[in-house]
Structure 1
């Protein structure tokens, strides 16, 4: 006798029974007696949260259905859970691209919302943040139906349609007054836009692209690693270093500095894609030719002149043809390639430096002496001017004193009687002046010495009475 199996089912449990020809289920809660020869398996029901959904496939028909949470359910006998998915939660600036595998139809769902896929849908593109379009941002969009491109510049958060793809997010090109860009159009022609001509802010249109030039960089200009899209028309410095050989077969490493400028952008892009490289290569060739004609001593005495003459050749059209201009070129450094020769060169440079120092010292001493002589000369000139001024003042003072004395004498003569003659008046005046002088001397500590003529000494012999 075969004893049946007894199963006790809870509320969330289900009993899957399988006989020889079919399957069926019994849902809990309860107790189930299973006959012998029937296989049984307890399985739990499916519980979905509010943010979950499940895809369930019928093994007999192949149909797929979707159960969306929150819910709790039991599977049928011939059903299985393919996968439990999280609901796609989109924020206000996000979108997701979904494709229906049964029809091939693509749809775009923009937030804010929750997205539950249908039975035949899959996520073609994960949730993506939309593009914020503003004054400096635009979006280049391709229509996948006809392949056309359009530029969207309207200020908003952009979500592509089902038949659209974002090719590129473009930034507005902002040019300063000294900047220019070269734009290649859809027909392959170049268009130059200058920042100084009221075209300093714009978006590239569909099928347009900026011309990107690869210029030589580094002090030896060996690698073309400098990418240039914005062309600066201001004068700029450029360093370059290369080897030369003098007439007496001395190898030198010459470092030069170019001060150059782009004059004609159209001429430049039509003749070269590496303006600095062309400038340095041509200049090196010309400088090598000039240095090879001069001995080392001559070159060291006038290396700047040698280099300038080789570059500033008015008959050379090379730079004009490439739309550039070299304002000046200076030798930055001169060194020998071989160490032994470098020592000799250092001695020559040291001797030249000492000679210049001696000349400078002698010049300084000469300037000091010259300034001393100039100072003495200025002092003497000022002393002469002072003596001249003193003499003039003395003359003026004497003249003033004489005039006042003459007025006093004239007044004295006018007070005398008209009966006196002029000699008598003069004699009286002289007598009074002598008395005045004697009186002044008498009041002083001076010793007076009189001659007979001063005192009118007379010796008379008178008879005795």
Structure 2
């Protein structure tokens, strides 16, 4: 019986594979096995996998696939075949791997530190996380959902599986600077003032500007582009615009002495009047200077002595005669 069914000792890394009529059986070492000489068999070596090693295996019976990682001594199942072998990737805490399933197209991200072993249908791309300091940010958009957001430093930032991103630097604003911001999603506008490091929101478009520094003799005319209303801002002050404000160039007030005056007209109402010194004259947005021979519009009054007088003729034309 022993001669008909010889005994074989299997080492630790050996496997006996026996072909029956319709099935295959395997016996893994170490140990003694009885071998039927009337059946086809062979002895194979196990696969030794190190810490970074892996193999891809396919079951020929049901078509399923799997990945086997080390460290270990690996024996194939009765219907399994090796499809490939490789080494995993060691990721540091600053790295991540973007993984895509070639069968389903699904993506996922795994961050380090770890040793990444790909699955049977996976491909991966190793990349570095984005290091952001306290004045940097990333503008992120999810290509799957369209959602946007902004991530600020300081940090190490890792993207999601479907995220696209662009790195930028915050805008330093001094105490006299500002940004006019419009939200492209809602259409709302706002003004953000310094001093600060300013970061945009995910839907913000912006322009940087400087405030107007006005002395006690200066002023500007401001028009609200939303309502059309006009107003005047006098110094001394540092003026910041509202989100819909448009300002004129800085203007100088008219300085009037005791014996000086200007003729004015309000073009919105048609009212005319004379403004006399002494003092500063700030022209409202609807005021205009009339009938002046000088570029500034300032005219001198006439001084009368004890026996002098003015003769005023109204018709047919206004005329003043000193006597």
Note the C-alpha offset of 1:144: 2.8
Is 2:225 aligned against 1:101?
Answer: yes
Write out aligned runs for 1:61-140 (5 A).
61-81=186-206, 83-123=207-247, 125-140=248-263
Would you say the 8 A contact 1:49–1:69 is kept in 2?
yes
How far apart, in 2, do the equivalents of 1:176 and 1:53 lie? 55
Q: Deviations over 1:137-164 (max 9, x none)?
A: 2122211331111110131111123543
Deviation beyond 4 Å, 4+ runs, structure 1: 173-177, 181-185
Aligned to 1:2: 124
Aligned to 1:193: 321
TM-score, normalization by structure 1: 0.38
Residue 262 of structure 2 aligns to a residue whose secondary structure is strand
Residue 104 of structure 1 aligns to a residue whose secondary structure is coil
Aligned to 1:170: 298
User: Any stretches of 5+ residues in structure 1 without a counterpart?
Assistant: 198-465
Note the C-alpha offset of 1:76: 1.1
Given candidates 161, 164, 182, the residue that maps to 1:57 is 182
How far apart, in 1, do the equivalents of 2:201 and 2:250 lie? 34
Q: 1:78 to 1:126 in 2, by over 3 A?
A: same
How far apart, in 1, do the equivalents of 2:235 and 2:311 lie? 40
Aligned to 2:141: 18
Q: 1:175 to 1:157 in 2, by over 3 A?
A: closer
Q: Deviations over 1:303-327 (max 9, x none)?
A: xxxxxxxxxxxxxxxxxxxxxxxxx
Would you say the 8 A contact 1:97–1:107 is kept in 2?
yes
Residue 124 of structure 2 aligns to a residue whose secondary structure is coil
Cα RMSD, aligned residues only: 2.8
Would you say the 8 A contact 1:2–1:36 is kept in 2?
no
TM-score, normalization by structure 2: 0.53
Aligned to 1:158: 281
Note the C-alpha offset of 1:109: 1.1
Note the C-alpha offset of 1:23: 1.4
Note the C-alpha offset of 1:12: 0.4
How far apart, in 1, do the equivalents of 2:226 and 2:147 lie? 31
Q: Deviations over 1:13-68 (max 9, x none)?
A: 00111222121121111112224543211011122101111101101011111011
Note the C-alpha offset of 1:174: 5.7
* Aligned residues between the structures: 189
Q: Higher RCO, 1 or 2 (CA under 8 Å, sep at least 6)?
A: 2
Write out aligned runs for 1:302-451 (5 A).
none
Would you say the 8 A contact 1:58–1:79 is kept in 2?
yes
Structure with higher Rg: it is 1
Would you say the 8 A contact 1:182–1:190 is kept in 2?
no
Q: 1:188 to 1:114 in 2, by over 3 A?
A: farther
Note the C-alpha offset of 1:171: 1.6
Aligned to 1:439: none
Q: Deviations over 1:202-241 (max 9, x none)?
A: xxxxxxxxxxxxxxxxxxxxxxxxxxxxxxxxxxxxxxxx
Residue 76 of structure 1 aligns to a residue whose secondary structure is coil
Q: 1:153 to 1:190 in 2, by over 3 A?
A: closer
Aligned to 2:270: 147
How far apart, in 1, do the equivalents of 2:187 and 2:179 lie? 16
Q: 1:4 to 1:157 in 2, by over 3 A?
A: farther
Q: 1:92 to 1:175 in 2, by over 3 A?
A: closer
Given candidates 173, 183, 186, the residue that maps to 1:48 is 173
Q: 1:73 to 1:184 in 2, by over 3 A?
A: farther
Would you say the 8 A contact 2:184–2:203 is kept in 1?
yes
How far apart, in 2, do the equivalents of 1:103 and 1:153 lie? 33
Which deviates more from structure 2 when the two are superposed, residues 106-115 or residues 35-44?
A: 35-44
Q: 1:188 to 1:28 in 2, by over 3 A?
A: farther
Q: 1:183 to 1:70 in 2, by over 3 A?
A: farther
Would you say the 8 A contact 1:4–1:34 is kept in 2?
no
Q: 1:25 to 1:137 in 2, by over 3 A?
A: same
How far apart, in 2, do the equivalents of 1:190 and 1:26 lie? 73
